[in-house]
Chains A and B, each alone.
Chain A
């Protein structure tokens, strides 16, 4: 009877009994029974909250005691990001340059009738009235006055001045420039000259002194014919975009879209005659 009179002992035994029931109800694996589930949920929730609090507390203390280190790390990471971005940009530039040079090389290899000197455009006339630019190859590299300048797309212009490591090139679309050309399909000849105010438009050149009976159509290709001795024959000048209906006694005039995009020239080839072509 002493047992039933001892209330603390009864409560202790009851709690132990309840805990045993709960433990028995908890399976080893698989889906939990309801009491096990309730206990598990409570335990997990509490652990989760406590875990988060612990993490927060840890982070807080780390940030308090390691603020300088974290700030340094952030600065270092920012510097690395900036460096990597710069390197990425340089790589992209190099890839594009590589592609352009590969095209120029292909062009030079496919046209071995002449020898070529490579040059890079370093500055250009900032105005709209003339189209003159400077390249980084001069007489030290073998460049001479009146050498023709081309890209893989076609004729660019000619060298008008040279220095030791630079040359000045007057573009085909400059108003002071003129070149003798032939329409590839009909073999009609004329003089192609620049109209610089149309820079960047479809018709920055015009071909005049074409025979009146010539039957040209838009899309006809115009190439150099070698007359005059400055520009070698066979280089693409451009395509006919508009055949004017008016013509005077000196012949027809047509508008030509140059093969080269003069707003985007970066590398060029200077054409040198070989013994065979001279």
Chain B
């Protein structure tokens, strides 16, 4: 049941990320719902679940779009593990703190992507302009969306699964 819910969340997030989110971009900046879901799952249930969800979301996106297969899978697996590992050590449990955390993870995701992009051999333009013009505004939006996702996921985990006396997590 919980695994099915995680898969459903990932599917919905990827679907919205590819269709609705680019249309509601503000000055080319848009939140990454898939990232928010992966980071929230990873933070609430641990890095292993984050890796599995990241792999699922990455493979889905790789099948859908990029000319380079595996690009998003590598990025989201890294983010899934990193966010769970860091959140366990951050000792921050508030929603606002999670917003900042999600924004930070957005920046980390773009940096990992940039490194991969360079490793593959694509030409990187002005990294500073790229980070300032696109990544930072998008990270702020991801932070805001991340707070909503975090609250939603925490509510689902506590109401749907805690009643049965089972541990929180997928």
Is B152 in the interface zone, CB < 8 Å from A? no
A125 touches B122 (CB 8 A): no
Q: Is the interface of B mostly helix, strand, loop or mixed?
A: helix
Residues 108 to 153 of chain B near chain A (Cβ within 8 Å): 110, 113-114, 117, 122-126, 130, 133-135
Which of A123, A129, A201 is within 8 Å of B64, CB to CB? A123
Which of B72, B124, B126, B133 is within 8 Å of A127, CB to CB? B72
Residue interface mask A187-204, B partner, CB < 8 A = 1: 000000001111111000
Q: Which residues of B contact A174 (CB under 8 A)?
A: 67
Which of B19, B67, B134 is within 8 Å of A130, CB to CB? B67
> Complex formed: what's the CA distance from A2 to B65 in Å?
119
Are A197 and B124 also in contact (CB < 8 A) when A124-B18, A126-B21 are?
A: yes
B125 touches A129 (CB 8 A): no
Is B94 in the interface zone, CB < 8 Å from A? no
Q: Which residues of A contact B22 (CB under 8 A)?
A: 124, 126
Is B68 in the interface zone, CB < 8 Å from A? yes
A130 touches B65 (CB 8 A): yes
Is A249 in the interface zone, CB < 8 Å from B? no
Residue interface mask B33-61, A partner, CB < 8 A = 1: 01000000000000000000000000001
Residues 59 to 92 of chain B near chain A (Cβ within 8 Å): 61, 64-68, 71-72
Are A132 and B28 also in contact (CB < 8 A) when A126-B22, A127-B72 are?
A: no
A126 touches B34 (CB 8 A): yes
A197 touches B130 (CB 8 A): yes
Chain B interfacial positions (CB closer than 8 Å to A)? 17-19, 21-22, 25, 28, 30, 32, 34, 61, 64-68, 71-72, 110, 113-114, 117, 122-126, 130, 133-135
Q: Which residues of A contact B64 (CB under 8 A)?
A: 123, 125, 134
Number of interface residues of A (CB under 8 A): 26
A175 touches B123 (CB 8 A): yes
B134 touches A129 (CB 8 A): no
Min CB–CB distance B22 → chain A (angstroms): 5
A132 touches B67 (CB 8 A): yes
Is A160 in the interface zone, CB < 8 Å from B? yes
Are A200 and B28 also in contact (CB < 8 A) when A130-B65, A170-B67 are?
A: yes
Q: Which residues of B contact A130 (CB under 8 A)?
A: 65-68, 71
The chain B residue with its CB closest to the CB of A196 is: B122
> Complex formed: what's the CA distance from A267 to B135 in Å?
28
Min CB–CB distance B108 → chain A (angstroms): 14
Is A46 in the interface zone, CB < 8 Å from B? no
Q: Which residues of B contact A126 (CB under 8 A)?
A: 17-18, 21-22, 30, 32, 34, 61
The chain A residue with its CB closest to the CB of B34 is: A126
Is A128 in the interface zone, CB < 8 Å from B? yes
Min CB–CB distance A79 → chain B (angstroms): 26
> Complex formed: what's the CA distance from A127 to B30 in Å?
9
Q: Which residues of B contact A125 (CB under 8 A)?
A: 18, 61, 64-66
